[in-house]
Every structure is written in structure tokens, then in C-alpha cells.
Amino acid sequence: MISVDEARTRILSSFEPLPPEDVGLDEALGRVLAQDVRARRTQPPTAISSMDGYAARSADLSEAPKVLKQVGKAPAGGAFSGVVGPNETVRIFTGGPIPDGADTIVIQENTESEGDRITVRVSAKAGQYIRNAGLDFNTGEVGLSSGKILTARDISLAAAMDFPWLTVYRKPRIAILATGDEVVRPGEPIGPNQIVSSNAIALQAFVKICGGTAINLGISPDEADTLRKMANGARGSDLLVTTGGISVGEHDLVRQALNSSGLKVDFWRVAMRPGKPVMYGQLGGVPVLGLPGNPVSVMVCALVFLSPVLNCLLGLPNDNGAVIEKAFLASPLSENDRRQDYLRATLKRHKDGSLWAQPFERQDSSMISLLAKAQCLIIRVPNAAAADAGQTVDVMRFPSGLARL
């Protein structure tokens, strides 16, 4: 067996960021920028009013009340072509350009009008209610940096900077192949010795959360020829992920079946719990990540190995793809053996702001219900000593699709 860190390093050495592609703004949400976005215009392009009111000269409004003569209008999208002279004013609306000669705005609530006579009831200072040219951004300024996961706010900025499209990394294509005579798709008839498969569906959702495109190849029975044929569906993908069939039983056929198709195994088995029988290799130019069949093992391995692969392909940092932080242990843990442990746990924030992790008493790798209730994984390094309640531990939060946006 190799360590988790070594396994992750060897896997990531096979990958690099995918080629970029241009997408319209309506398709850019959640995508990763492949190059900086520099403003193609200045915003606002000229000084404009931030309020409805009157453009005037501050020199005329050092005292109030004061009567000014209205000599024109400056609506948004239009402009007053003249010059505001002494004791003159121009009716202006939000977004309207500041006329030459004017240096302040009096909001309409502080005025009274009778024809072209405008009585200003308050004094005004220069620059009042004026947005100067370039207040938001200037031409050539970097508004969005390469490597950013695009949010709705980012798309708004890109649109304002006059970009109808953005250059992003191509979405990783991840083929998923479940195996086993004992599993069926949700909703299909269930035999007396069968269970419903959740692994492929869960991995599809995980890949989507992490920014990729999942290709579900279905469920292969424990028959070598069929497994090989179904695995051929991964051609053109960036990674093939299999679930089940990689342990040591007579029906664990993934390695055996794919070996005859040219599978070159880099490693098999990792010192971790859950997830020990993890395999990684290459099949006809397509990387293959073989995961165990137990549902909890699948999701833990997805978090530890698949997430950083997706990050790498998307030009994101090659970390484990999840938030790792310190938390206080709510109940004691026994000493660990030579495998790295990932314990399902809940999190609670106390009134003093401290974060506490409560591991579930049972950690059986088949218990999906506890996985759904868990908010994090407690990470315990190999040979860790027993830990008392109140000690700090590393916790890995599960990623959320909405958190990316």
C-alpha cells in the first residue's frame, strides 16, 4: 500500500489544465476563467449624476436659498450641449452626463420649481452627487483574473466591461462505470440478492458540483467481455472512474478484464479508511481511477482524489478541493492504525465561536445515511495517538455547488 499523499501526487502527475474555449455570458456561470478580463471601456465614460436633480455651480450655492434659471436638460443617454453659466442650472437625471460649467448636483427634493425658476433651499459643495469618469473601472483595467470561478456578480461585471463572451477552461469529461451483478439502477426491478446502485448517480452529482461533465456509462455485470466493451465508452474522456470490482474477490474483475485491453496499473491499494482498494492507471490514453464499491468509500475517495483532478483540469489549485480547518473534538477517539482515517462527523458552532466536530459512533463504509447526515470528515493521520474530547483535529468539509457561485 502507498500513502494518500503519494497516491494523490502520482495521480495528479498525469494531468494538466484543459485547453480554453470561448463561451457566451449566458453559459459562463460556474466556469473557470482561462485568461484575465480587461475592461474594453471606461465606466462611467464621463462624469455623471448619481441622483435626479439639478446640475449647477457650487460657487452660486455657497448660501441658500438661491434662485437659479433652468437653461436645459440632461437625461440619461442624452446630454446638455451648452455651458452652465453663473446663476444657471440644468435639469438632470440619474446617469445623465454633467454639463460643462457645472460641478455639483442638487437633488430635486431640495428644490422648488416655477417654470424656469428653480429655488434651491440648501447650499451645495463641489462634487456633490457626481460620479467621476472611471469610478467603476477604466479601459485596460483587469476586472476578473484568470483562475476565477465565475459567479453571477462576475458575469455582471464582464457584461459591463463590454464582453459578450469569456475564455474559460473546457469542462472535464468524466466517464463513470459502475460494476456488479448485485446492483441495479434506481427504479429498476430488484432481485432477491440485489441492491440499488447509488455510486454512479452520486459521482455524477459530484462531478457536476466540481465543474465537470459526467458521462454515465451504466452498470456492467461481472462479466469480463461486457465490462471491456462498456469501458470503451470512455474513449475521448479525460478520466474513466469505475466503482466496484477492484478488491480481491473472485468477482472483482475490473483489473483482470481491463488488463487484456491494455490497462497499465500505476498503483493498487492506498493506506486509507474507507477506500483501501483504490486503483489508478492508464487505458488506451485514458486515465482510469478505480474506486471501491462501498458507497461511503466512493464519496470519500471522490473528495480525496477525484476533486483535485477536476481542479487541475480546470486550472484551479491542486489541493483536495475541500475546505480543511481545525475543530475541537466533541468525543474521544481511539488510536489509529497505519491507515489514514476519514471519519464522518457533524459540526457545531458554539456561542464563543469555536467549532466542534462530533464523529458518528459507527463508521461502516456501507452506511449512506450517515454520509448524508455528515457535514465533514475528521482526518486522522496514520498511527495517530488516542485523542481526548477537546483536542483539535483536522476536518474536511464537503463541497457545495452553491458555494462555488
Residue 110 and residue 82 share a domain: yes
Residue 53 and residue 148 share a domain: no
Is the CA virtual torsion 245, 246, 252, 257 positive or negative? positive
Residue 141 and residue 38 share a domain: yes
Domain end residue (candidates: 257, 292, 313): 313
CATH number of domain containing 142 = 3.90.105.10
How many folded domains does the chain comprise?
4
C-alpha closest to that of 128 among 51, 34, 63: 51
| Prediction pTM value | 0.87
Residue 291 and residue 215 share a domain: yes
- Residues 6 or more apart whose Cβ sits within 8 Å of residue 45: 133
- d(Cα 61, Cα 56) in Å, to the nearest integer? 8
Residue 262 and residue 249 share a domain: yes
C-alpha torsion 244→247→249→252, nearest 10: 40
318 domain-assigned: no
CATH number of domain containing 176 = 3.40.980.10
Range of the domain at 85: 48-131
Residue 217 and residue 97 share a domain: no
pLDDT tens, position by position, for the chain (405 residues)?
999 999 999 999 999 999 999 999 999 999 999 999 999 999 999 999 999 999 999 999 999 999 999 999 998 888 999 999 999 999 999 999 999 999 999 999 999 999 999 999 999 999 999 999 999 999 999 999 999 999 999 999 999 999 999 999 999 999 999 998 888 888 888 888 888 889 999 999 999 999 999 999 999 998 999 999 999 999 999 999 999 987 665 556 888 889 989 999 999 999 999 999 999 999 999 999 999 999 999 999 999 999 999 999 999 986 655 668 999 999 999 999 999 999 999 999 999 999 999 999 999 888 999 999 999 999 999 999 999 999 999 999 887 655 555
Domain end residue (candidates: 293, 313, 333): 313
Residue 275 and residue 235 share a domain: yes
CATH number of domain containing 56 = 2.170.190.11
Residue 27 and residue 162 share a domain: yes
Residue 159 and residue 148 share a domain: yes
376 within 8 A of 345, measured Cβ to Cβ: yes
Residue 389 and residue 329 share a domain: yes
Domain end residue (candidates: 313, 339, 367): 313
Strands, E assignment, 137-250? 142-144, 165-169, 173-179, 183-184, 195-196, 213-220, 239-243
319 domain-assigned: no
Residue 195 and residue 159 share a domain: no
